[in-house]
Amino acid sequence: MARYTEIHPVNPQTRLVRKVVDTVREGGLVAYPTDSGYALACAPGNKEGLDRIRSIRQLDSRHNFTFVCASFAQVGPMAILGNNAFRLVKRLTPGPWTFILKGTKEVPRMTLNPRKHTLGVRIPQHALTQALVAEFGEPLLSSTFIRPGQDEPETSGWEVEESLGHLIDIVIEGPVGRGEPTTVVDLTDDYPEVVREGAGDVSLL
């Protein structure tokens, strides 16, 4: 059964954040709130964690996993950005966007789309998410927690813990943003192509 913990949404307690991050470093899987609903996260090199996310969400191998970053500076080592993509990502983040980009050699191959060698990149505007990534010291491998057959992400920590707590190591209770999935934008060709409309306003592209 998952450990269920409440962390302050505006001023996350360092002690509690460290406990969550220690679990991630030890190979654990966590469910946490973001500015666009709940997400699942593990360490980037954690194959078991990756497989657990795939199993819970019933994802196939073509799914683009997302690297959740604390700042724009963390994007460069893992993703290839053209000039237009660079300016767009910098302008729209932090916020409810996921950008599909070509991965660099620094990214574990198992986390990339096997055919396109792409990944998702995200910089949320959410104090708790930012605290987790900052404490971890590198991007978290993540996937929006949308249940199979559903279109919207989970928005309640206690409901996640009640129904799926046996599959997750820690569930963090905390408020989410609009409870609407991110807008997904493909920037692999350096120009924006909207893959999914969500919380990010596409008129800003």
First-to-last CA distance in the chain? 43
Within the chain, strands assigned E span: 3-6, 30-34, 37-42, 66-68, 79-80, 97-103, 118-122, 140-144, 170-173, 183-186, 193-196
Query: Could you tell me if residue 23 is inside a domain?
Result: yes
Which residue from 194, 200, 195 is spatially nearest to 182, judged by alpha carbons?
200
Q: Are 199 and 177 in contact (CB under 8 A)?
A: yes
Q: Are 57 and 146 in contact (CB under 8 A)?
A: yes
Q: What is the rounded (10 degree) CA torsion for 91, 92, 94, 100?
A: -110
Query: Could you tell me if residue 22 is inside a domain?
Result: yes
- Count of structural domains within the chain: 1
pLDDT digits (tens, 9 = 90+) for 48-85: 999 999 999 998 877 888 999 999 999 999 999 999 99
Q: Decide which of 1 and 129 is more confident.
A: 129
- Rounded CA gap, 30 and 168, in Å? 6
Q: What is the CATH number of the domain that holds 130?
A: 3.90.870.10
Query: Could you tell me if residue 82 is inside a domain?
Result: yes
Query: Could you tell me if residue 107 is inside a domain?
Result: yes
pLDDT > 70? residue 198: yes
- Rounded CA gap, 101 and 191, in Å? 11
Query: Could you tell me if residue 205 is inside a domain?
Result: no
Lowest mean pLDDT across 14-18, 26-30, 107-111: 107-111
pLDDT > 70? residue 1: no
**By residue range, what is the domain housing residue 178?**
3-200
pLDDT for the residue 156 = 87
pLDDT digits (tens, 9 = 90+) for 181-194: 899 999 999 999 99
pLDDT digits (tens, 9 = 90+) for 149-185: 888 888 888 888 888 878 999 999 988 877 688 999 9
pTM: 0.91
pLDDT > 60? residue 12: yes
pLDDT > 80? residue 37: yes
